[in-house]
Amino acid sequence: MPKNPKLSTRNAMAAAFSLAFAGLAATAVLSHPTMVSAAADPAPNTVAYYTDKVQPILKENCYRCHGGENHRGGLQIDTKAGLLKGGRDGAVLVPGSPEKSLLISLIRHEGPADDPMPMPPKGKLSDADIATVTAWVKAGAIMPE
Ligand code: HEC
């Protein structure tokens, strides 16, 4: 038994509190990745911009319908060849011209209401993600083979 039970309770509470606080701080940093990576952001006209910033957005939101074996709308998004070939309605990317790129108008929900419908079909990408993909197309849609 500790000599002073009151003191050890207080220590335990202090420890629990600082653990909880460390957890909160870690969550804050993790949920704002830009806070930690802002200094090292690659430029939009680099392969690194595609692999670090654009591809994760496509992977999370598009690959399940446009990747691997899945070519909804005739479009495969996970390879350069597939992206440049386009889908059933033709080209989806015009490197350098986001305003002429079907892929961009669909993710901005500025395309047709139907056929092809806005992408992804349910929900909408965040404004930040849309800006990232748009900047990439504007800078020439650079990606690895
Ligand atoms: C749940 C499945 C699903 C997801 C997720 C999805 N798509 Fe689609 N996509 C479709 C279907 C189905 C079509 C054909 C729709 C049509 O013709 O109306 C299509 C069509 C398209 C087209 C037009 C192809 C053409 O030539 O008509 C583009 C561009 C496109 N998707 C981009 C994306 C992007 C970018 C994402 C991620 C942000 C995405 N899609 C996510 C199912 C999906």
* pLDDT string in tens for the chain (145-residue length): 555 555 555 555 555 555 555 554 555 555 555 555 555 789 999 999 999 999 999 999 999 999 999 999 999 999 999 999 999 999 999 999 999 999 999 999 999 999 999 999 999 999 999 999 999 999 999 999 8
Q: Distance between CA atoms of 44 and 132, rounded to whole angstroms?
A: 8
Spacing, Cα 114 to ligand 1 middle (Å): 11
Task: Report whether 139 contacts 49 (CB < 8 A).
Answer: yes
Q: Distance between CA atoms of 8 and 88, rounded to whole angstroms?
A: 70
Spacing, Cα 34 to ligand 1 middle (Å): 28
Task: Report whether 63 contacts 77 (CB < 8 A).
Answer: yes
Domain ranges of the chain: 5-35, 41-138
What residues flank ligand 1, with Cβ below 6 Å? 61-62, 64-66, 72-75, 86-89, 92, 102-103, 106-107, 115-117, 119-121, 125
- What pTM was computed for the model? 0.78
Residue located via tokens 């200094």: 39
Spacing, Cα 42 to ligand 1 middle (Å): 27
Residue in 93, 47, 48, 41 with CA at minimum distance from that of residue 66 = 93
Q: Give the CA count within 13 Å in the CB-facing half-sphere of 68.
A: 6
